[in-house]
Structure 1
Amino acid sequence: MITEPQYFHTIIIGAGPAGLRATFDIADMGFLPLLIDREEKSGGKLKEIDKWFSLDSCGFCRLLDAETRPILLSEENEILCLRHGIAKRNIPFWSSSAPVSVKSDENGFEIEIARGCGEKRIVKCSAVIITTGLEDSHLSCYSNFLAGRDPDVISAIQFEKLISYASPKPITRPSDSSPVKSIAFIACAGSRDNEHPWCSASCCSYLAREIGEVKKIDPSIQTILFYMDLRLYGKGMFLYGKNHLEGTRLINSKPAQISRSNQGSLIVTAGTESGIEKFYVDMVVLSGGNSPQNQNLFKMFDVETDRFGFPVCGSAINPLSTTNPRVFVAGSARNPCDIATSVMEGRAAASSALKLLLDSKGEKQKQKNGKILVIGGGISGLYAADSASSLGYDVAILEKEKEISGIARNILLDPHERNVNKILNEISSQILSKENVRVITGEEAVKIEGRPSNFRVKLRSGKILSNYDSIIIATGAPLFQDSRVDGKRILNLHQAEKIVQSKKTFEKDVVFIQCTGSRDDFHPYCNRICCPKAVT
């Protein structure tokens, strides 16, 4: 007897942070997802990390909404600890499983999935989200670092096991179990080179956390961090790194090689401001090497990739799209990123898939879900409004300026050299054409009162906006006002952008000075946009 393949609205491939979050969101909206992973357990890289920066605590529960975070594991609980399994019941999770063949038509996909038990199942779906992450580069790739040949040269993931809660103390060398007195940490080992010309996006924060753990275990251990430049992205991460790296010697250099001395120490040779120096340590920890692992998977779903194996974006207004309109990608499978970004992208990919489902024949949502107010009409506010309105919400966009689009209007090209104003016009016209979206300009929110499902917002003009179920704050940030910028010889990036837009030429050579008004005591964070903007 031939049975019809089981249908799932969306299939999520990869059960790491991005995949878990996407699965939960799709299930919460009343749709049926299928989550599959080639490993036996869900969690991805999180399974290998004892604590999640920047709170230095188990990060699994942060994948869940605050009101449903677990804590106890029992048969009666609807929610379970994510370190033990999928967080919500009635979500199909196929472990030790992977697609082996795909057929597609105008309505979606028919996928043959090989399962660990030896059977093969055929399923159907309307959309696919790929969240398979990156694959760690094998240590043998770093022959100049003795990686894979010397037991005292280990990866950051291997070092994690030495400093986790379950590990014995003190920290000892793998080679002879002698107490460790000094450790060299090397960032960007296996990244930002000719073969892997990208930043791993998380190894600086990861190493900062591990160094902080070492100091807690044994403050007498000397630590050295070799880095190309410290990229401590994200809210609170600059101060987090500063605190965790206190007392650590920072060497702005990528070592040339590692060797073993006659006395048994490891010798790290690196170029510094003083010339070629040798550093004698007991152990070396490498972090940063990873590569795409999805070439065959992307090919299976007819998704184009670049020469390194990362997917090509299919839409200027949706970075999570691919060249296949029914396939979305999130997390490090799309682009190297940290855990927090993976979670956010998982939610965004779920939103994109839900929008596709609701726009498809037979999946139209019949009733409204409620009212949402988006405060801020910049590019993030516009994206949020577009997603919420597609899910059936009545949406109002509140913008204090006379027109929507925010600070992005001052930008000519993005880092991919795409016309930003063209992208803004496209998404603005798309949103303004929707019946369930209205835009309020020239008004500023001064007070928010109420509770979920009944928010009330007072405007500076005295008007009141009421009965909103949720509020999304997307107000961006004001430009740093530097008194030295005179608009003539000393410009900020946006003033320089206007000169470029007007096609005028600069009279003399131009010097770009980065991080003015950021990464200091008053603004302890990275802006994340000024470096790529200056290069563009």
Structure 2
Amino acid sequence: MVAGGHPNIKIITLAKIENIEGKPGNFKVKIKKQPRYIDETKCTACGICASYCPTPVFDTYNANLGLTKCIHIDYPQAVPATYVVDTSACLFVNRQECKICVPTCQAEAIDFSQTASYEEIAVGAIILTPGFSVSDVYTSNQYGYAQYPNVVTSLEFERIMCASGPYKGEILRPSDKKPPKKIAWLQCVGSRDQKHPYCSAVCCMYAVKEAVVSKEHDPDLEITIFYMDIRAQGKGFEEFIQRAQDEYHIRFVHSRVGQVREIENHDLVLRYCLENGKIVEEEFDMVVLSVGLAAPRTALELARVFKIGLNKYSFSQTNEFTPVNTTKEGIYVAGAFQGPKDIPESVTQATGAVGCACSLLAPARNALTVKKEYPPEIEIEEEPRIGVFVCHCGINIGGVVNVPEVQKYAATLKNVVYSEQNLYSCSQDTQERIKEMIKKYRLNRVVVAACTPRTHEPLFQETIREAGLNRCLFEFVNIRDQCSWVHMHEKEKATEKAKELVRMGVAKARYIKPLKEEKVPVIPRTLIIGGGLAGMTAALTLANQGFACYLIERQSELGGNLRHIHYTLEGNNPKELLERLNEEISQHKKVEVFTNANIKEISGYVGNFKTVVELSNGEKKELEHGAIIVATGGHEYLPKQYLYGEDDRVLTQTELEKKLVTAELNEKDLNTVVMIQCVGSRTEERPYCSKICCSQALKNALKIKDINPNANVYIFYRDIRAYGFRENYYKKARENGIIFIRYDKNNPPNVEQDHDKLKLTGIDPILEEKIVIYPDLLVLSVAIVPNDNKELATLLKTPLSSDGFFLEAHVKLRPVEASVDGIFYAGIAHFPKPIDETISQALAAAAKASIVLAKGYVEVEPIVSWVDKDKCIGCGTCESLCPYKAIRLVKVNKRKKAETITASCKGCGICSAHCPTRAISMGRFTDEQIMAQIAAFKEE
């Protein structure tokens, strides 16, 4: 939606790339655009044409679970919000296309004379994001799919759950449209098999998400997830799995289902084998196949046109140390075309690809960009003229709240001169309509009753600004999160509450006023805290764009954890990477390095930070900069169990790696080696998965086999999290004779000294018997823990997660940004991650920082506090309480008065609440506005 209205983004739909010529910085791209048979400049998306169209077609957007019309729009929020004609399904009458839709279109937007057209555009860089296709379960009839109606794929179930889906958000069986009582999810369908031997990385989490949402729809649902390994390696993922078990009582069964067959009433029987060999048959009402991700079907054509390499699974070929670079210079890749990945990593990688493109195109910055022009702000009449727009949000709101009743009620409120209901207020066509109504009814304040201001408020503010209103003349009423979602089983009461919320919003809107947006100049320099792989990568990315950087490292040399990695699972050499980074940084004039340095103070705000650094000689240096990248890394947890520190034969994976490389261990020392996974991870103290431990174990186990092919290597594990293409190495390990033994978290292996030997006792879940191993070495795959970030987080005024990692602003939409503007995260400081993901995130953090620096200024949200200096007595209460250090005392006519540093203020209101003279008010949240809301709430 934002992209659709951006002046520097041109969207070309129904298009394919025909040819590409040129070199990095100067590509010529030939595009073929298929006809839409609709004039996009005329179509108003009114839908009248579809209502007259006599030809039903399967609704591909809803996974063919419903029907749409030959002329249709996929969904109301589609960009562009323009209908399209599926000519392959057009009805013919007397050998002529019926074209009934043509005379029905009052905008005269339907044009069957359109033909394919060609366009050539000049670009400096290319980023490939064609997404993925679904593994071919659709054609294989696996588990009775396409044969039994109640066997559906996870993507089909996603549409079944969705409020805009074919069943309007009700979870129903396709066979009889009745609510199921018992559903099974089958994992690894089209993944980790002979045809698709890799792991699709996302299936476990989306299955658990779907299961949890299903339980929220119907708490009595019985849900079972059949799995081989639960791969919850992302930030917050392991905790979500635990919640699914503990709070939602979702059952997890460690088994791969062998057969699904249909019985009477289209019910289904699953036949599966438990670890102990027991065969079980169990009935379910519905089965969901968690289908895998495959390369896009256009992959071979893309490779031909763009002259890039593909891996053996037809995903884009990249290198571990250059994860967003294709094999052709100037062409980058992001998202699932690079390899299966989830949303946060896709967003991070896309931003990282932008970082690389920015470095390439830095000399041409701003050469072709267009600055968006707004109409002059309308002078506001004294009397409020309020427009209220109430959103159905499909059935997210409309399925609970009686939206027409709320809209009619809004029309009766004082100062409301116009009200209407919308199916989706955030859709492009509704945005245009809001602008039209502002002009038609001379609205000077707009109230939208919809979902959440957290994600949608900027969109509506931009819309009213484009219509000539100040952004602050907008009020958002949240009737989804605060009403329909929390009262989904109380429709009448939810409707009454929605009316009350709208009444309060309108009452506040009467008192909102235009506020000025301040622009603050930016110091075009970045401070990077941490000189490991993430920090070095971010520094070079920014420096290559022409921005100066300070690189702060508390150790005596750069490199961080990269200095302790000697080889990777993929066979690459981290030492060569480190040497290259060190050389480039030492020679770059835009990077100033401080080693043996500690940060003592950080003050200021986005665009204008000041940091005091203490050097090794005790000297303190003040640095000024516009942005901050936090890349402080982490370290191995030092275990207190399994005799670590008591017996020299007990090592961590990092210690083992060093000994293998330096030949401190030889063939005779490696006859029997046991590894234990999840030591210090996935515990009550550290409930997260450390993400890289399984890869470390596979890497070192295979290295041991290289040194001594006859070695007995055992890996005790809870789940082997070899996500993505790492699955290949898990398979290789098994083929090389490495033995994997699963253990339960409540019954881990026991290790003790038996005279001069190490003795490990565990339970084999297949044999259901105790096993005893006397290893030469015991290797612990320990947790990755953050460095002590508390002091730095206090200086930065940024929050930490409960685990001590820095907390991002939004886990999916803003994964590298802090909640404090101008601060960004990269590497293990954010969460444990392997080398390739660390590099991607460092590139992304640099790209985000460069947005601040390149613009030259930052715009401050008018939500900030304002001090009435006539009322202020200079007591300093506000200054002492402000968590963002956004208020300071200044001298005014020889007396101290409080003053807001607008760029630092986050509008939390603590200062206003504690001011003894009520001298501080909040932009958009004045006392007058809040009291009006309270008074409106009390109205009958």
- Which TM-score band (shorter chain)? 0.7 to 0.9
More deviation, 169-178/453-462: 453-462
1:372 equivalent in structure 2 = 526
The aligned counterpart of 1:279 is 282
Residue 209 of structure 1 pairs with residue 230 of structure 2: no
The alpha-carbon distance between structure 1 residues 507 and 181, as it changes in their structure 2 partners (threshold 3 A), is closer
Q: Given the superposition, is the C-alpha separation of residues 464 and 253 from structure 1 closer, same or farther in structure 2, using an over 3 Å criterion?
A: farther
1:476 & 1:185 partners in 2: Cα distance? 37
The correspondence for 2:602, drawn from 448, 456, 479, is: 448
- Aligned position for 2:263: 261
657, 661, 666: which is aligned to 1:497? 657
Q: Give the TM-score, by structure 1 length.
A: 0.79
- Per-residue CA deviation, residues 158-187 of structure 1 (Å, 9 max, x unaligned), is 111222234446522110122200000112
Kindly indicate which of the two structures has a greater share of residues assigned to helix: 2
Q: Deviations over 1:270-306 (max 9, x none)?
A: 2212422122100011113221122210221111112
Any stretches of 5+ residues in structure 1 without a counterpart?
A: 1-80
Contact 2:523/2:626 (<8 A) preserved? no
Alpha-carbon spacing, 1:371–1:521, altered in 2? closer, same or farther (3 Å) = same
Corresponding residue of 2:585: 431
Provide the residue aligned with 1:477 in structure 2: 634
Alpha-carbon distance between aligned partners in 2 of 1:142 and 1:521, rounded to the nearest angstrom: 43
Aligned residues: 449
Given the superposition, is the C-alpha separation of residues 445 and 269 from structure 1 closer, same or farther in structure 2, using an over 3 Å criterion?
A: farther
Query: Is residue 108–residue 326 contact of structure 1 (8 Å, CA) maintained in 2?
Result: no
Change (3 A) 1:351 1:332: same
Matched-pair identity in %:
28
Could you report, residue by residue, the CA deviation over 1:398-456 in whole angstroms, capped at 9, with x for unpaired residues?
11111101011111111211011111111221122110101111112254322112223
Segment drifting more, 465-474 vs 372-381:
465-474
Q: 1:168 to 1:321 in 2, by over 3 A?
A: closer
Q: Deviations over 1:176-225 (max 9, x none)?
A: 12220000011211111111121211111111111111111111010000
8 Å contact 2:261–2:269 — kept in the other structure?
yes
CA separation of 1:253 and 1:131: change in aligned 2, threshold 3 A = same
Correspondences of 1:295-444 after superposition (within 5 Å): 295-313=300-318, 317-358=321-362, 370-444=524-598
Aligned partners of 1:131 and 1:289: how far apart in 2?
18
Per mean C-alpha deviation after superposition, the further-off stretch among 342-351 and 520-529 is 520-529
Matched residue of 2:676: which SS?
coil
Q: What residue in structure 2 maps to residue 56 of structure 1? A: none
Deviations 1:367-386 (A, max 9, x none): x9711011011111111111
Equivalent residue letter for 2:340: P
Summarize the Cα distance change of 1:169–1:342 in structure 2 as closer, same or farther, 3 Å threshold.
closer
Superposed displacement of residue 107, structure 1: 5.2
- 1:134 aligns with 132
Equivalent AA in structure 2 for residue 381 of structure 1: G
1:249 is matched with 251
Indicate if the aligned counterparts of 1:134 and 1:292 stay in contact, CA closer than 8 A: yes
Counterpart-to-counterpart distance in 1, 2:190 and 2:245 = 22
| Aligned match for 2:693, one of 527, 530, 533 | 530
Q: Is residue 139–residue 148 contact of structure 1 (8 Å, CA) maintained in 2?
A: no
Query: Where does 1:155-304 land on structure 2 (aligned, <5 Å)?
Result: 155-166=153-164, 167-168=167-168, 170-246=170-246, 247-262=249-264, 264-274=266-276, 275-293=278-296, 294-304=299-309
Counterpart-to-counterpart distance in 1, 2:24 and 2:527: 35
Relative to 1, partners in 2 of residues 1:170 and 1:92: Cα closer, same or farther, differing over 3 Å?
Answer: closer
Going from structure 1 to structure 2, the CA distance change for 1:269 and 1:391 (only over 3 Å counts) comes to same
Question: In structure 2, do the counterparts of structure 1 residues 462 and 209 end up closer, same or farther at CA, with 3 Å as the change threshold?
Answer: farther
- Could you tell me which residue of structure 1 aligns to residue 152 of structure 2? 154
CA distance in 2, matches of 1:176, 1:113: 46
* Aligned equivalents of 2:170, 2:123: Cα separation in 1: 52
Deviation of 1:136 (Å) = 1.2
Query: What's the C-alpha RMSD, in Å, of the aligned pairs?
Result: 2.2
Q: Aligned-pair distance for 1:129? A: 0.7
CA distance in 1, matches of 2:610, 2:282: 61
2:869 alignment counterpart: none
Instruction: Quote the Cα distance in structure 2 between the aligned partners of 1:161 and 1:262.
Output: 26
Higher RCO, Cα 8 Å, sep 6+: 1
Deviation at 1:362, TM superposition (A): 12
Change (3 A) 1:170 1:350: closer
Counterpart contact for 1:255–1:269, Cα < 8 Å: yes
Letter in 1 for 2:217: I
Where 1:242 maps in the other structure, the secondary structure is helix
> Are the structure 2 counterparts of residues 329 and 168 from structure 1 closer, same or farther at C-alpha, using a change threshold of 3 Å?
closer
**For residue 93 of structure 1, what is the aligned residue in structure 2?**
11
Distance in 1 separating the partners of 2:7 and 2:188: 40
* 1:54-95, Cα deviation, whole Å (9 max, x unpaired): xxxxxxxxxxxxxxxxxxxxxxxxxxx45xx63623311111
Cα deviation, residue 311, structure 1:
2.1
Against the structure 1 CA distance between its residues 169 and 422, is the aligned structure 2 distance closer, same or farther, given a 3 Å change threshold?
closer
- Describe the superposition over 1:481-509 as per-residue Cα deviations: whole angstroms up to 9, x where unpaired: 11242271110011101111112323541
- Seen in structure 2, the aligned counterparts of structure 1 residues 266 and 470 have a Cα distance that, compared at 3 Å, is same
- Tell me, in whole angstroms, the C-alpha distance in 1 between the residues paired with 2:135 and 2:244: 26
Using the alignment, how far apart are the partners of 1:106 and 1:242 within structure 2? 48
Q: Structure 2: how far apart are the matches of 1:336 and 1:516?
A: 27
Of structures 1 and 2, the larger Rg is shown by: 2
Supply the distance in 1 between the matched residues of 2:156 and 2:32 (Cα, whole angstroms): 30
Change (3 A) 1:413 1:173: same
**Matching residue of 2:20:** 102
8 Å CA contact 2:524–2:548 kept in 1: the answer is: yes
Task: Please say which of residues 180-189 and 453-462 is displaced more in the overlay.
Answer: 453-462
Counting only pairs closer than 5 Å after superposition, residues 505-520 of structure 1 correspond to structure 2 as 505=666, 506-520=669-683
Aligned to 1:18: none
1:321-378 Cα shifts (integer Å, max 9, x gaps): 1211111111111011001101000111011111112368998xxxx97110110111
Q: Structure 1 residue 256: deviation in Å?
A: 1.6
How far did residue 466 of structure 1 move?
2.9
CA–CA separation in structure 2 for the residues paired with 1:265 and 1:361: 61
User: Which of 412-421 and 170-179 deviates more?
Assistant: 170-179
SS of structure 1 residue aligned to 2:579:
helix
1:319 Cα deviation after fit: 1.4
